[in-house]
């Protein structure tokens, strides 16, 4: 089971474009030891194959199938982007980077999708200045 921690969350981020946003997300995953730095390029490659935008102003960048060896441990990072950044013509205000070992990858995606399917949840995640509130919302909705 993965637990979301305060250090996993970056509030009030700003990015010029999608690539910069994905690189920052990957760097945060790497800085926390979840992935090796090479995973960042695989996150960009994955988004080029098919967008990681999932709707409701949320994107979930993650690596390609052949990047699993670059994951040290399963983890999740959340970057709040109140001003928004464009992903393939869509405004993204919440970026959730994931790295999942084995089947945890799919569990992470489905758990995040459950929370982010409700626009009211997404708005709370974007509008808060409290990392604790973000952790609580995910705890209430999913098993993280």
Q: Which residues are catalytic?
A: 62
Closest CA relative to residue 77, chosen from 140, 33, 110, 37? 33
Query: Three-state DSSP class for 35?
Result: strand
Detail the DSSP E strand segments found in the chain.
9-10, 53-55, 58-59, 75-87, 90-99
Q: Please give the distance of CA 90 from its chain centroid, rounded to a whole number.
A: 16
């Amino acid at each position: 089971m993965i637990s979301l921690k305060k250090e996993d969350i970056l509030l009030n981020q700003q990015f010029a474009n999608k690539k910069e946003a994905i690189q920052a997300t990957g760097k945060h995953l790497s800085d926390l030891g979840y992935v090796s730095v090479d995973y960042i390029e695989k996150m960009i490659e994955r988004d080029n194959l098919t967008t990681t935008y999932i709707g409701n102003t949320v994107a979930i960048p993650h690596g390609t199938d052949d990047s699993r060896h670059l994951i040290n441990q399963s983890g999740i990072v959340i970057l709040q982007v109140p001003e928004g950044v464009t992903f393939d013509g869509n405004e993204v205000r919440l970026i959730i980077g994931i790295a999942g070992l084995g089947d945890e990858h799919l569990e992470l995606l489905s758990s995040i999708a459950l929370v982010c399917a409700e626009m009211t949840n997404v708005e709370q995640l974007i509008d808060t200045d409290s990392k604790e509130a973000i952790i609580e919302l995910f705890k209430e909705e999913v098993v993280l």
